[in-house]
Structure 1
């Protein structure tokens, strides 16, 4: 089996692949976490965020913030405005946002992906960046924090973490969908 691609792949295809991967990886992670006792979600564990629940909320919060910016909508951040929902609300919100992100990417044209998006971040400033680069950032951000969730689980004694690598997705999940 040859693993190299010999034909050129469009930016749109690449971004659609990443969006589908992000959706699959978030669902895979959440499905694994749902098998764990509910009390572990609020247990303090040294990491970027002190609990699994807050880390999941951060993944959701940041993804929805970037997609809102890309769509020219006002962003609402749990970090600044608070969140009083349940763990189930966070899980459902994360999965719904991942699906909405994938649908958003599918609706974009190649030119729209290449197009610039202006945004402002408090304490950082005003910036203009292409849509595809913002999407890359959002996906990489989620990858980073999914890794933290796995490590936090490991610190809780969980040894059955799922494989959520992009290459695993390409070889086992995406190919299975097309076979």
Structure 2
């Protein structure tokens, strides 16, 4: 089993579920000031996709791509398209992984300069970052009229019936994981 690919697929599934719930929010609810590290659902979702693009550029050995930043505001529709593209890139990247590529060093742009990081460690960090900030959006949704979606039914065979409709809706073959 390619555990990095499974995490990338879980990442995509979780993002789709979370963004689908956010589409039920009004614009006012989406941008409303809330208690969290970032001050709104919008800003947190922007941070997630911005950091995804940053680390994908690092993993693809693209120094200039790491310097690209998103605008301060995006419509949920535009943001969801960027997130879907980042998720697809991450899955494609993880499908190509082997032991040699996981141990390579990527050059990551930091304030203090270029820092070398192992690819496997960057991937683990990226997944942890996603989980952390999706959890914040999940909690912020609890303060709205929209119920936060279940995000922890993915890896186990017992969870397959619980995610079957999502897999069909997202057109995923069930044997990928």
Pair in the same fold by TM > 0.5: yes
CA distance in 2 between counterparts of 1:45 and 1:35 reads 17
The match for 2:151 among 147, 164, 167 is 164
CA distance in 1 between counterparts of 2:160 and 2:128 reads 19
Residue 118 (structure 1) aligns with: 107
Report the Cα offset of residue 173 of structure 1.
Answer: 4.2
Report the Cα offset of residue 95 of structure 1.
Answer: 1.7
Structure 2, unpaired ranges of 5+: 165-173
Q: Which of 97-106 and 32-41 deviates more?
A: 32-41
Answer whether contact 2:11 2:87 (CA < 8 A) is retained.
yes
After TM superposition, the score normalised by the length of structure 2 is 0.82
CA distance in 1 between counterparts of 2:54 and 2:125 reads 12
Answer whether contact 2:23 2:76 (CA < 8 A) is retained.
no
After TM superposition, the score normalised by the length of structure 1 is 0.81
Q: Which runs of 4+ in 1 moved over 4 A?
A: 173-176
Structure 1, unpaired ranges of 5+: 1-8
CA RMSD of aligned residues (A): 2.2
SS at the partner of 2:115?
A: strand
Answer whether contact 1:57 1:94 (CA < 8 A) is retained.
no
Deviations 1:88-139 (A, max 9, x none): 111211122111111111123321012111223114x442221111011111
The match for 2:175 among 161, 174, 178 is 178
Residue 77 (structure 1) aligns with: 69
The match for 1:36 among 25, 28, 45 is 25
